[in-house]
Amino acid sequence: MHHWIQLFIEQMRHTTPLEWLAVMLGVTEVLLARKNSVWLYPAGIGSSAISITLLLEVGLYAESALSMYYVIMSIYGWFLWVRREGEPPVQIAWATRNEWVITLLIAFGGWGVIYSLLHQFTSSTVPLWDAWVSSTAWAGTWLLARRRIENWVVLNVSNLFAVPLLFHKNLVLFAALTTFLFIVAVFAFFDWQKIYRRQQNPASATSV
């Protein structure tokens, strides 16, 4: 434990302004997501764009590719949440059976594909671990873009495995951020259920 505290303090001393910016934008993104605010997307795009380079430097290739995916999905999610003029924005809801099938295909199918790519074409020392963190995050982000409540559960599966992986790679500040994201996602899961119930019964919400 003492080793990790020393490592955390040492990394804090050597953290670059770019890393701090990525972390602060990541915190901003998840807090805005919890509040169901569309402004989570520009914050997320900024954080992910910076993280691509930082993760490549430590050999977390799948995590870097995940950040690229985040940028693409953030643009997609931003569009879905706002929609074109005259179209209603997508509402918070529980995932359908078909959406769960797609989610599981992304998580488990992506795990196999990403692992194979990392194992064969990169020097990754943690291909299986890195691939799982990334594929589950891909699945959770897809659900987030569609404003499905279960996105927080799937994202926290990814976060649960990401924290020790980031510690293993001595990215203690990123590990601390991911721990924070895990905690916020737990609260967000229940917050989104409340929003969903208000959507289903607006008259009741108005009278409270």
Task: State pTM to two decimals.
Answer: 0.78
The pLDDT profile of the chain, 208 residues, written as one tens digit per residue, is 566 567 667 766 666 788 888 888 988 988 898 888 889 889 999 998 998 888 888 777 877 887 888 888 888 888 878 765 456 667 899 999 999 999 999 999 999 999 998 888 888 888 999 899 989 998 998 998 899 999 999 999 999 999 998 888 777 777 888 898 899 999 999 999 999 999 888 765 544 4
What pLDDT score was predicted for residue 207? 46
State how far the Cα of 20 lies from the Cα of 60, in Å rounded to an integer. Answer: 19
SS3 148: strand
State how far the Cα of 99 lies from the Cα of 103, in Å rounded to an integer. Answer: 6
Tokens of 174: 């990123």
What pLDDT score was predicted for residue 194? 93
State how far the Cα of 149 lies from the Cα of 62, in Å rounded to an integer. Answer: 25
Residues 100-143: pLDDT tens digits? 999 999 999 999 999 998 888 888 888 999 899 989 998 998 99
| The residue count for the chain | 208
State how far the Cα of 191 lies from the Cα of 127, in Å rounded to an integer. Answer: 35
Least Cα distance to 33 among 201, 180, 205, 200 occurs for 180
Least Cα distance to 163 among 151, 153, 154, 176 occurs for 176
Give the DSSP letter string of 20-52.
Answer: HHHHHHHHHHHHHHHTT-TTHHHHHHHHHHHHH
The answer to whether the beta carbons of residues 1 and 157 sit under 8 Å apart is no
Tokens of 121: 């074409």
